[in-house]
Amino acid sequence: MSEEMPEIPASLVKQLRDRTGAGMMECKRALVEAKGELEEAVRILREKGLASAAKRAGRKTPEGKVLARIDDGQGAIVAVGSETEPVSGNEEFIGFAERVMKAVEAEGPDAVDKLEEERVELVARLGENIEVVGAARLEAENGEVLAAYVHPPAEKIGVLVRAEASPELARLVAMHISFASPRFLSRNEIPADEIDAERAILEKLPDVEGKPDDVREKMVEGRLTKGFFAETVLVDQAWIHDPDRTVGQALDEHGAEVREFVRYALTQ
């Protein structure tokens, strides 16, 4: 004779929902499986959540939110990704992103690891992969300013800048970085082997390869400057606010210098 299923009171289902945030029917099924034992039902839901998160891990998260905030000489930026746009507007998702931001503000980017269990539970509840794509915290030193920019309305691209500049100029630089997506602050940051690889490609171009050594060298260096450096290095890029100048020239005009930047984009 089969064992009778226990009657699950609505109050117990509510307790489990409050503890785990899981749906009503999920909670009821877990309580039935746990024969009405609340702690066992919590364990069952957690195991299912871990399995669900593992199954969804690795899925792309091109949607979501980038948050950036500056307070008293300290700036933080976090990017939290989701698979779909509706989830990026979900209250639970936004609440989680805000808790990630507060943790990074208080303890730095390593604090994200402390929220892993909460992330896994959120994946189970929302039914899609949720990923903390990036997190950083910058501190302004003597004479420096911080500037943040998150591109509206989607808020999927954000930038945090540390610079010796006016707040207005630093913000213009942050806007530029959000649009132009530089990989490096200056040429000194580029790995030598990456420059060598780019130079080798240019040297083999048909209109370059047959030229005398001195001419070929000038052509290659010119194309490096106008191509690779102008695309990837912040100070070599055309200033989006005045494309006739480079970012470096715009900074020099004001005696300014960018010391560090962080850019996160969920769309690429």
Q: How far apart are CA 68 and CA 101, in angstroms?
A: 8
Q: What pLDDT is stored for residue 6 in this prediction?
A: 64
Average pLDDT, integer, range 252-260: 98
Q: How far apart are CA 182 and CA 176, in angstroms?
A: 9
Q: Report whether 122 contacts 130 (CB < 8 A).
A: yes
102-127 as b/e: b if 16+ CB within 10 A: ebbbeeebebbeebeeebbbbbbbbe
Any idea which of 22-26, 152-156, 257-261 has the lowest mean pLDDT? 22-26
Average pLDDT, integer, range 229-237: 97
What the block records as the tokens of 11 is 């109050």
pLDDT above 90 covers a percentage of the chain that reads 65
What the block records as the tokens of 131 is 């990923």
Confidence of residue 164 (pLDDT cuts 50, 70, 90): very high
- Looking up residue 73, the CATH number of its domain turns out to be 3.30.479.20
Q: Which residues form the domain of 207?
A: 191-231
Q: At residue 160, does pLDDT exceed 70?
A: yes
Q: What pLDDT is stored for residue 54 in this prediction?
A: 66
Residue 2 lies in a domain: no
Q: What pLDDT is stored for residue 40 in this prediction?
A: 87
Same structural domain, 130 and 63: yes
Which pTM does this prediction carry? 0.80
The 10s digit of each residue's pLDDT in 38-62 is 888 888 877 776 556 667 777 899 9
Q: How far apart are CA 246 and CA 255, in angstroms?
A: 14
Q: How many domains does the chain have?
A: 3
